[in-house]
Chain A
Amino acid sequence: MADVTFTVDGKKLTAAAGTLLIEACKSVGIEVPSFCYYPNLSLQGACRMCLVKVEKMPKLQTACTTVVSEGMVVVSDNEEVRQARKAMVEMLLGNHPLDCPVCDAGGECELQDMTFSYGAAESKFMEAKNHKDEQQWSPVVFFDRPRCILCYRCVRVCGEAMDVWALGVQNRGVNSIIAPNKEDHLECEECGMCIDICPVGALTSGAYRYKTRPWEMKHVGTICTHCGDGCKTTLGVRRSDTGLEIVRGDNRDKSGINGDFLCIKGRYAFDFANHEERLTEPLIRKNGTLTPSTWEEAFALIGKKFADVRDRDGGQAIGVIGSTRTTNEESYLLSKFARAVLKTNNIDHHRTADFPALAAALRAKPNATASMVDLFTAPAILLIGNDPTERHPLLAWQIRNNVRLHRARLYVINSQPIKLRRQSTGFFEIPSGAEGQVVEFLSGNDHAAGNLVPSGTGRDALFALRDKLRGEQNLVIIVDSEVRGAEIASLIKFGSAIPGAKFVCLADYANSRGAADMGLYPDLLPGYHSPTGHSQFHTDWGEVPQAAGLDLVAMIDRAKAGHLGAVYVVGSNPVGRLKIDPFAFSKAFVVVQDMFLTETAIMADVILPAANAYEKSGTFTNTCGDLQLLKKAGEVAGTKSDFEMIVRIADAMGFNVRKLVPFGGGTRADMGQSRGAQSGEADRHAVWLEARGLEPKLSPFDPMAILDEIQRLVPGYDVSHINLLAGNSQHTSLAGSGTGAAQRDQSIAPANDSLFSSGTLGRYSSTLKSVMESHQQKTTEAVAAD
């Protein structure tokens, strides 16, 4: 649209026609206050805080609903405007209780800020306040009616942005109240967006209320450890008896790929970290019972046993199971440790998507993977299988709001009537498990249509859909893990005929993609390189076994036959999650690193208490391939990061850890002057060094040293270091990967987590548990009532 020129506070401004005055002001740093206005939600015009003076208009105008026009002259702040805003605040305070000292929002309340800015603390209203007791709407949502200022943000975010429509407004005028959809409680996705968006303390979180004050916490923006989408979550931490306790999760830091969004897991399910069953000392099985021991004793024992087995039976007698929730640095290190120290390629993890096949198909196609941000801007999206609302909440949010705000065309092909069909321009229902057939059909195999629809109109619709898709441009194609192996190749073949098409393969855990990229495979090194032959890894890592190792299934067989001497399980629970025989490894020496005594850990000979992703730094790669930085938030005394434990085991085996972790390098910073005109020099110098990855890495436990090696050796990971450190997401590419593998992969097992479950972690989250129980209870009650 054409630009218009107008004046605000004497400044000449230019903005695209159609821009809202409040946004135009914000873009040049003129703050116009508002409660009800929220970017990307429908306009409300309810709070009257954004009143400004527009020349030639008799009354003050709301900047949130006024569109800029040519020659408009605006005054954003004068005595008249200030008086009007003050009157609004005074009116709101007419019924708003002054309970700031006990209110959760105290210290980060927009009404408090406005009262400070415009000063209306003394009220002329004499009427008694209309009090109502607080209500609990769900295990995690509380509503304190008198505090509500009726901005309707919660109603709009729940309806428009979440497509849940669980909140409404009842009655009118001063009697208006926000009401939940089930009279006295909510039936919703429990995302907590209403709490986050509430400008005051009317909606509060069951997980956080009355626990602490915002200024008593340190706020750490890190990456969520639950599903594979990689939302940024801000963890509020506070000192406790055992280190640093995480007391709150929210979306205070809106700089992440998730923007305004956070689901129930990112917001509340940090509490597993504080669970009372958390392991805080190493356990060694002595005479059949797990006995607390010292770290020294544990590492010495593991080092000796691992070295014995390797030296006696060779590396092929050791199995390693990696994690989908450890950092890239830890997965890379484990991959390197297995090959270079244990001398084995017997390494695997819980696979939830066929990334090797994707890498194989895209290795010569740059810019062929979509980032999470692309899903919000793409003009057209094709979703085959999966229910993102349940399993990829951020992905669902991006698609939903892309359709709402940018009118993207969404095509959904699914065996279930998933919720996203409500946003779709075309929904096509297929038989269960036929996702692979869909791909075959799309790529040109007309016979596959017979497996999808019997005949007649359905068949015509299917062909019409394919023609429509072929006519799209910049289409993003998202596939569930049901699409694997050769089907991935077919998918890429179909997509390659569409200009600008990009792909996403959906995997289930927070760092499933990272585990794949870092080579937790028996037949693949990091970057999908084959261990056979020669690659950069063979040069850098020293001697690496050439023959492909055993996958998880083969390891179990080998162990049962008594040919596996030692098993090393890092942050994984194959017994609980993949239902493998708990006694499979009973003949081997088993070491497990975990937070809890899981079904797998309880069979181990040595258990090492591990820190979780919220308690360490490093990087995660989400399912789209966006690389993001983890920052250490919580801390529980008596645990160690997986990174440190791997290094210590290597050390205990007599391995030179400098060959494992390239620490000690980097440039020593000249600390510069600490006072005077050049006092900032040291800081500036440190930033310069960090931007180039040249800061000194002084410890063998510094994951940044491994990140350097990853960026140097793993194709696609050579992204901007300073952007990564600044907390931005950096999209990695699969172009240039190794040859990968394109066989149909039978060992992929979806996590099958719902919106309220999260594998082993979820079981130790009391908030997730309470939400699950309350939903189940309501379902049972409903059934009983029918």
Chain B
Amino acid sequence: MKFSEEFEQRFAEMVPHYPTKRSALVPTLLYAQDEIGFLSDEVIAEIAVRLDLTELEVRNVISYYSMLTTQPRGKFNVQVCTNISCMVRGGEEILEHCSQNLGIGHKGTTPDGLFSLEEVECIGACSWAPAAQVNYDFHENLTPDKMDRVLEEYRKSGKQ
């Protein structure tokens, strides 16, 4: 299993910051997921060896955090918040709209592998609700129309 130079640098820098090796597990998983797209069996095995854990322990942590996934996701992971602030400002409609636009439901992925959709809890953008997060980018004060434009932008950039 080979990771990029950048990953290796970050990993080497990070591990000594923690009192025990296993403490570096969550950031390591996040970096690996950002690089590979999801946490494959191969990635899990490699990280387990590096941090002196069993594969089961790594899987336990992955299953605990909803941001970590063992399944391949679309290039753009659309995460729509439906927590209180977003809900009262129409977050559920945004989710429903995305679902219709993309033709997929919660945790679904489009056949072209471009989009995944996810209903998520609070993403800390309550002041600009309703909000959604696509990969690491925020989109705020959404309306169905605005959401369509956002998705269209991604669709274009993804096909280039």
Chain A interfacial positions (CB closer than 8 Å to B): 165-172, 179-181
Contacts and interface: CB of A to CB of B under 8 A. Distances in A.
Interface of B: 54-57, 59-60, 63-64
Contacts of A166: 56
A-side interface mostly = strand
Contacts of A168: 54, 56-57, 59-60
A172 B59 CA distance: 12
Contacts of A169: 60
B-side interface mostly = helix
Contact of B57 (A165, A171, A180): A165
A167 B55 CA distance: 11
Contact of A171 (B54, B55, B56, B63): B63
Contacts of A181: 54-56
A171 to B, nearest CB: 5
A181 B55 CA distance: 8
7 contacts: A165-B56, A170-B60, A172-B64, A179-B60, A180-B56, A181-B54, A181-B55
Contacts of B64: 170-172
A589 B55 CA distance: 60
Contacts of B54: 165, 168, 181
A179 B54 CA distance: 13
A170 B57 contact: no
A179 B59 contact: yes
Contacts of B60: 168-170, 179
A206 to B, nearest CB: 21
A166 B54 CA distance: 9
Contacts of B55: 181
A180 B60 CA distance: 10
A171 B56 CA distance: 12
A339 B46 CA distance: 66
Please name the 8 residue pairs, one residue from A and one from B, whose CB atoms are nearest each other, closest first: A170-B63, A168-B60, A181-B56, A168-B56, A172-B64, A171-B63, A165-B54, A170-B60
A152 to B, nearest CB: 11
Contacts of A171: 63-64
Name the residue in A170, A171, A179 with the highest tally of chain B Cβ atoms < 10 Å from its Cβ. A170
Contacts of B56: 165-168, 179-181
A167 B64 CA distance: 15
A786 B29 CA distance: 26
B20 to A, nearest CB: 15
A485 B63 CA distance: 57
A696 B154 CA distance: 94
Contacts of A172: 63-64
Contacts of B63: 170-172
B83 to A, nearest CB: 16
A670 B35 CA distance: 86
A186 B143 CA distance: 50
Name the residue in B54, B56, B60, B64 with the highest tally of chain A Cβ atoms < 10 Å from its Cβ. B56
A171 B68 CA distance: 11
A181 B54 CA distance: 9
Nearest to B58: A168
A181 B60 CA distance: 10
B10 to A, nearest CB: 27
Name the residue in B57, B59, B60 with the highest tally of chain A Cβ atoms < 10 Å from its Cβ. B60
Nearest to B65: A172
